[in-house]
A and B are shown apart, each in its own frame.
Chain A
Amino acid sequence: MKKNKPTRLYLKCMLLSLPFIALVALYIIKDPFMVIRHYRDYDHSDICQCEGSIGWFKYKMLRHRMHYDSFIMGSSCTKAFNTGDWNRYIHARPYRLFSNSEEMSDVNVKLEALYSQRNQQVKNLLIVAEKDFFTRTEPQGGVMHIMPPDVSGKSEITYQTTFLQGFFSPMFLWHFLKFHVTHRYEHCMRGIINDDGPTRTFYTNDAILPNETKISTEGEEYWDDKSWDNAKQHKFVWHEAPRTIYTAQIDYLNKMKELCQRHGTNVKIAIGPRLDKTAINHDDVNILKHIFGSRNVIDFSDKAHEKYSDYHNFYDNIHYRIILGRDMMKELYQ
């Protein structure tokens, strides 16, 4: 009879849940992704964050003071595009609203959210794209991509449980606990723990570029690492990637264009070069030019810009330097 009391089951379920409850409590107290509570300073975190969410929180915190009206969007390659440099061409109040591995569907969702903000103008939009930027027509999820509920339309519960699940992933949790116990950064924690100090400026969310300082100090030695060998030995051959823009993507881009036109937004798209000289498919570029206007889309990965793929223009095998970003903006806005 004793065995058939439900209390025994309830207690066992609670016992099974205890380690998880303890970790959930730790997560709530530490708030490593800075999404549970609001903060004055988002830029000095030990943890690599969801840049989209953080950028949005900062925007909302500062927008009434700064009156932003122009936005740089795209992936982390936006680090090459400084709002100060951009402002020479647009004479506005720019802000870098980027996200990790952002794609067009993520940009569109953010745009819609911006337009829905009271008294928010979007005079200028600079989209920093890559060859795979135009593939998805649904916003990305997951801990590094999900946007806050007032952008994504998802519930607060979905938003928070995404980060909670990210916290529990072995890759994150192990390194997080190890770092907080030992207070020592190890190379294997790269991508989880941020050892670079602040990575963005406060008001404009521009990238802080410690690698640029390193290049100034080290010069050519910066590219001495083995990972640069292929580039230095000219082993990369210029070639085009397969086409990615088809019917679904065309419909989506047309809707984006209409949205921007309706709100009087001046759109420019810069398709960045790659160290491995992989160019976006020319069919994709033609479609983009047809939709957004040939003067508003420049493919910097094409054969004519092959010189941009020189390794001296890159911090790593993905991110090009701010000096290249300046050249790209000059060509885009001339």
Chain B
Amino acid sequence: MEFLSIPFTVFIVITILLYYAGKGKRWQHGLLLTASIIFIGYYHLQYLLYAIGITLFTFYAGKLLHKKKEDKSASWIFVGSLAVLVGVWLTARYWSPIFPLGISFYTFQALSYLIEIYWDEEPEESLLDFTLYMMLFMKFLSGPIERGYELLPQLKKAHAFDYDKAVYGLKLIAWGAFLKLVIADRIAPSLDSVLNNVRDATGAQLMQATMLYPIQLYADFAGYTHMAIGLGMIFGFKLSPNFDRPFVSLSTGELWRRWHQSLSFWVRDYVFMPLSAETRTLGRWGIYLSILVTFVAIGVWHGAGWTFALYGVFQGIVIIYETAATKFRDNIRGTFGDHIYRPLMMIRTYILFALSLLFFRVAKISDVFYTYRHIFDGMKTNIKEMRLGMGDQDWIVFGIAVVVMFIIEYINSRHNLIAWSAKCKVWQRWTMYVVATLLIFLFGAFGVENFIYIQF
């Protein structure tokens, strides 16, 4: 069930009421596990079976790995376990008639868990706690990808109700709902109509859809993440952040430190760092190779098909260039000053990201290159066609919402707005609550499709 649905609302209200009605860790964890099983099984029983299977395998593989860690067979067990997990994931992606939702996320959690044990972490003793780590419903569908050493300790104790945290969580959920409903879902049908049929669109429409897609993707995914983190806070958990204002990045490298952080940091720690250590004898070429392999891995993680691999290659090549051209960029910065350099670099990074995302979004490679070739065609397109089927009111709402998003994120980077709002007077806080709820309800595009990252 999707977060923004009436069944989920009923589900979460009942779960919260029961969670704090009982006492003790066993009650809370038993309830969360039951809720997670219901949540996952609601979509399809097969998703639940996959999740349970991978959880059990990882748990016992971890125990075996730890037991045999002084043995010669440890590395075989380690490689074998990783191979099984990756094999199951690839099988599900390429050959299964039904692709289990969330498998990419919890498989990476499982991989990091085993890698950490191989690197001398202690395995989790409690199967219940481990199962919750893998299947906790609020992060199951689209992350964040949690590390064992961050989430497992939080599962060691019962969580007493914390009013301030719960309110903070509700505010995060409201913000996530705003991003998802008012921005992402509002523009989604219009962009889909172009990006699903690029050869039927004019150049101006292609340009418009290409440049707006990163905003839709960000609002959709960041919206989901905020809701997941907010839900976690209500239950007393601290989940990892996933975004840090990615569109202020001055380089693609910086963008990937701000975008889908749980994935990019995972790949940095478990792919890039070991690989660059292994290739250190190659000097800077070793680093370049490591970057390329890392980003191809990121691309392939997103989907089966050459388009996703090329998405990764695109990112990797740009970052290699940026790494190689650091001096050149510093010279430009020195020549033109920060006031010109920073906005130019933000725009450049955004445009490159938007162009790379075509590989992510468009079904065929030939269609991506078609888009590149025709993106400047038809600049005299009729203004009606530029509407992409959306009414004027929708465009106004979308435009204002995007500006509000950027402003709030900017202010929030300097002063935690949610914490600040808690210090306001009662009437001010309640005005904000009522206005926020009204805005979401009035301007939210309800009934539009799933979260984009739910397909991974």
Contacts and interface: CB of A to CB of B under 8 A. Distances in A.
Interface of A: 3-6, 8-10, 13, 16, 19-20, 135-136, 138, 141, 154, 157-158, 161-162, 165, 168-170, 242, 246-248
Contacts of B17: 10
A158 B447 contact: yes
A16 B446 contact: no
B396 interface: no
Contact of B6 (A16, A141, A161, A165): A161
Interface in B418-447: 430, 433-434, 437, 441-442, 444, 446-447
A6 B20 contact: yes
B161 interface: yes
B167 interface: yes
Contact of A3 (B5, B163, B382, B444): B163
A16 B200 contact: no
A266 to B, nearest CB: 30
Contact of B389 (A135, A141, A170, A247): A135
A248 B197 contact: yes
Nearest to B448: A141
A298 to B, nearest CB: 25
A154 B448 CA distance: 11
Interface of B: 5-7, 16-17, 20, 160-163, 166-167, 170, 189, 196-197, 199-200, 382, 385, 389, 430, 433-434, 437, 441-442, 444, 446-447
A165 B446 contact: yes
Contacts of A4: 160-163
B197 A6 contact: no
Contacts of B163: 3-6, 8-9
A169 B442 contact: yes
A101 to B, nearest CB: 11
A16 B166 contact: no
Centre residue among A4, A141, A162, A246 by max chain B CB count within 10 A = A4
B161 A5 contact: yes
B437 A20 contact: yes
Contacts of A161: 6, 446-447
A247 B447 contact: no
A8 to B, nearest CB: 6
B393 to A, nearest CB: 9
Contacts of A154: 447
A205 B329 CA distance: 70
Contacts of B7: 157
Chain A to chain B: the 9 pairs with minimum beta-carbon distance, closest first: A246-B200, A6-B20, A6-B161, A248-B197, A3-B163, A4-B163, A4-B161, A157-B6, A158-B447
Given A3-B163, A9-B166, 7 more contacts: A4-B160, A4-B163, A9-B161, A141-B447, A242-B385, A248-B196, A248-B200
Contacts of A3: 163
B441 A168 contact: yes
17 contacts: A5-B163, A6-B163, A10-B17, A16-B437, A20-B437, A138-B189, A154-B447, A157-B6, A157-B7, A161-B447, A162-B446, A165-B441, A165-B446, A168-B441, A248-B196, A248-B197, A248-B200
Nearest to A246: B200
Nearest to B6: A157
A157 B385 CA distance: 33
A5 B434 CA distance: 23
A8 B385 CA distance: 52
A9 B16 CA distance: 11
Contacts of B389: 135-136
Contacts of A168: 441-442
Contact of A162 (B5, B167, B447): B447
Nearest to A159: B447
B434 A16 contact: yes
A247 B166 contact: no
A247 B382 CA distance: 21
Contacts of A135: 389
Nearest to A10: B17
A312 B446 CA distance: 42
B431 to A, nearest CB: 11
B382 A242 contact: yes
Nearest to B382: A242
A165 B161 CA distance: 33
A158 B197 CA distance: 27
Contacts of B200: 246-248
B437 A6 contact: no
Contacts of B160: 4
A10 B16 CA distance: 10
Nearest to B167: A9
B105 to A, nearest CB: 27
Contacts of A246: 197, 199-200
A161 B7 CA distance: 12
Contacts of A13: 170
A261 B42 CA distance: 39
A213 to B, nearest CB: 33
A133 to B, nearest CB: 13
Contacts of A9: 161, 163, 166-167
A169 B438 CA distance: 9
In this complex, the member of B167, B189, B200 whose beta carbon has the largest number of chain A beta carbons within 10 angstroms is B200
